[in-house]
């Protein structure tokens, strides 16, 4: 869709939208106040709520998207997007929540859990941070060249969970948003992290989509680099030769790497296998779990090449991923798991090695790559770190429970981060969507490990 048609369409559904950020503080919310309030929330577990006491549920007791403030900002159409584009401060002073599906699954009570409401409630209650919802399962993804720059101009982008399986296109049954549409959106988000962009937090299916799209981006990079015969201003061909040698090694590894489960089953061979990035977990994981520090695997037992394990060890030593530090220094961290599929450990170890290899190959020749047909490679992550695992009765169930995606600036060497997590930090232990249950108090949120972890990810990511 052309930008001009967007900006000339009507916007009848936006008449009740607030035009100034903040709800509890009546239009005086901004980046500094949001950041201060998050810091206050994280400082301890006992301090009182510094914000005004004001009900977030509507007067009729309903807390639902599009029903009333503060959940009025829903992008249901092109006209809704147009309104936001004409009022860019609304994007800049909000988090955008992307729903791949209408809910993240059904809990033990049989309720469909719309976890995006929890994200919005936590953000507003803790820091008076507004939320904008993009329900792509009903609205479609719209024009990515317009949508992604807009939503990444805000505080953060949250990609929520959902019922479909990343490896099974037939489960993506929404006519508005296919699996390929979601892949295109997530790939665009993954290569849009810049010094002026918001961090992204990918939750559950979002975590799985990110893993799949990282492999897709690596395959795309390898294919494009190996198809090139020359680069402008690469007079002796050194830059291209360096990149191509790296990509040949990545391709060889990607085509042969096996994914095995701890019970000995081989679930995928090679990066073209539908189950290479994500597959069915050994068992469904629902309920509270304690996060455990990630431990490097036994490469000999699982057939994982030493060099990709070593590359991850180097990444883990060089970078701080927030979740790993939280596990190390805070008390036992308990969070809510709610999934049947999992991201494969081997795929992330491979992706980290591949991204590191591409980044290092670019460094000496970045001035050549920057003006070439493959300049988009500069936007790729520098590395990915697996941060934690979960176990049941001493047996690891989900090796890759969370990751930190690192982006290293070629000139300043500064690191920016986005995060993915298989668990739902926004869900309390009852696994209910806020609105189906009572509104949790500030004190309840302040003492919940998952909520604290979610706020900490926002707090850290916004600083970059």
8 DSSP 8-state letter: T
pLDDT higher than 70, residue 88: yes
129 and 70 in contact (C-beta within 8 Å)?
no
d(CA 322, CA 197): 19
Structure tokens at 312: 């991850």
Helix axes 116-127, 31-43, angle to 10 degrees: 90
Rounded to the nearest integer, the mean pLDDT of the chain is 92
**Least confident range of 60-69, 262-271, 285-294, 427-436:** 285-294
288 and 334 in contact (C-beta within 8 Å)?
yes
pLDDT higher than 60, residue 1: no
Q: What DSSP letter does each residue of 57-110 carry, written as one string?
A: S-TTS---TTTSTTS--B--SHHHHHHHHHSHHHHHTEEEEE-SSS-S-B-TTS
Mean pLDDT across the stretch 26-35? Answer: 90
Model confidence at 402, in pLDDT bands (50, 70, 90)? very high
154 DSSP 8-state letter: S
Q: Which domains does the chain have, with CATH numbers?
A: 3-462 (3.40.50.880)
Q: What angle do CA 112, 118, 123 make, to 5 degrees?
A: 165
Residue of higher predicted confidence among 165 and 328: 165
**157-183, pLDDT tens digit by residue?**
999 999 899 999 999 999 999 999 999
Mean pLDDT across the stretch 365-373? Answer: 95
Does pTM surpass 0.85? yes
Please name which of 171, 160, 110, 163 lies closest in space to residue 135, comparing C-alpha atoms. Answer: 160
Model confidence at 384, in pLDDT bands (50, 70, 90)? very high
**120-159, pLDDT tens digit by residue?**
999 999 999 999 999 999 999 999 999 999 999 999 999 9
* The 200-203 sheet, strands edge to edge: 130-134, 94-98, 156-159, 200-203, 415-421, 395-408, 383-392, 292-293
Mean pLDDT across the stretch 440-453? Answer: 95
* pLDDT at residue 327, rounded to an integer: 80
Model confidence at 14, in pLDDT bands (50, 70, 90)? confident
**239-252, pLDDT tens digit by residue?**
999 999 999 999 99
Mean pLDDT across the stretch 400-418? Answer: 96
Structure tokens at 231: 């680069």
Please name which of 330, 331, 443 lies closest in space to residue 47, comparing C-alpha atoms. Answer: 443
Residue of higher predicted confidence among 283 and 5: 283
pLDDT higher than 80, residue 415: yes
What percent of the chain is modeled with pLDDT above 70? Answer: 95
Phi and psi of 266, rounded to 5°? Answer: -95, 120
404 and 319 in contact (C-beta within 8 Å)?
yes
């Amino acid at each position: 869709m052309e930008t001009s048609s967007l900006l000339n369409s009507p916007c009848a559904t936006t008449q009740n939208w607030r035009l100034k950020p903040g709800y509890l503080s009546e239009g005086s919310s901004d980046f500094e106040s949001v950041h201060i309030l998050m810091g206050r929330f994280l400082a301890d577990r006992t301090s009182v709520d510094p914000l005004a006491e004001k009900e977030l549920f509507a007067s009729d007791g309903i807390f639902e998207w599009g029903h009333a403030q503060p959940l009025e900002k829903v992008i249901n159409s092109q006209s809704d997007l147009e309104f936001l584009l004409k009022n860019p401060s609304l994007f800049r002073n909000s988090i955008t929540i992307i729903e791949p599906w209408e809910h993240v699954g059904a809990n033990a009570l049989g309720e469909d859990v719309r976890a995006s409401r929890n994200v919005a409630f936590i953000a507003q209650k803790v820091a008076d941070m507004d939320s904008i919802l993009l329900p792509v399962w009903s609205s479609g993804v719209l024009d990515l060249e317009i949508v992604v720059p807009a939503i990444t101009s805000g505080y953060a982008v949250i990609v929520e969970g959902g019922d479909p399986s990343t490896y099974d296109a037939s489960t993506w049954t929404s006519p508005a948003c296919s699996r390929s549409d979601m892949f295109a959106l997530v790939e665009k988000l993954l290569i849009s992290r810049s010094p002026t962009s918001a961090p992204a937090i990918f939750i559950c299916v979002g975590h799985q989509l990110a893993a799949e799209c990282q492999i897709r981006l690596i395959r795309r990079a390898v294919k494009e680099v190996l198809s090139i015969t020359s680069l402008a201003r690469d007079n002796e061909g050194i830059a291209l030769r360096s990149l191509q040698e790296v990509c040949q090694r990545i391709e060889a590894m990607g085509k042969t790497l096996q994914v095995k489960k701890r019970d000995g089953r081989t679930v995928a061979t090679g990066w073209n296998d539908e189950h290479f990035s994500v597959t069915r977990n050994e068992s469904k994981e629902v309920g509270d779990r304690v996060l455990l520090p990630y431990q490097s695997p036994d490469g000999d037992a699982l057939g994982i090449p030493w060099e990709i394990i070593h590359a991850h060890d180097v990444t883990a030593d060089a970078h701080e991923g927030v979740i790993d530090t939280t596990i190390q220094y805070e008390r036992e961290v308990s969070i809510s798991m709610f999934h049947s599929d999992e991201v494969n450990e081997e795929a992330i170890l491979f992706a980290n090695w591949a991204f590191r290899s591409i980044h290092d190959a670019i460094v000496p020749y970045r001035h050549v790559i920057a003006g070439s047909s493959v300049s988009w490679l500069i936007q790729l992550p520098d590395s990915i770190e697996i941060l934690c695992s979960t176990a049941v009765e001493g047996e690891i169930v989900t090796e890759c429970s969370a990751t930190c995606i690192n982006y290293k600036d070629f000139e300043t060497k500064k690191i920016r981060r986005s995060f993915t997590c298989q668990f739902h930090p926004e869900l309390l232990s009852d696994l209910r969507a806020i609105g189906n249950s009572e509104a949790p108090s500030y004190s309840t949120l302040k003492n919940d490990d998952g909520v604290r972890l979610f706020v900490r990810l926002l707090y850290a990511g916004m600083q970059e």
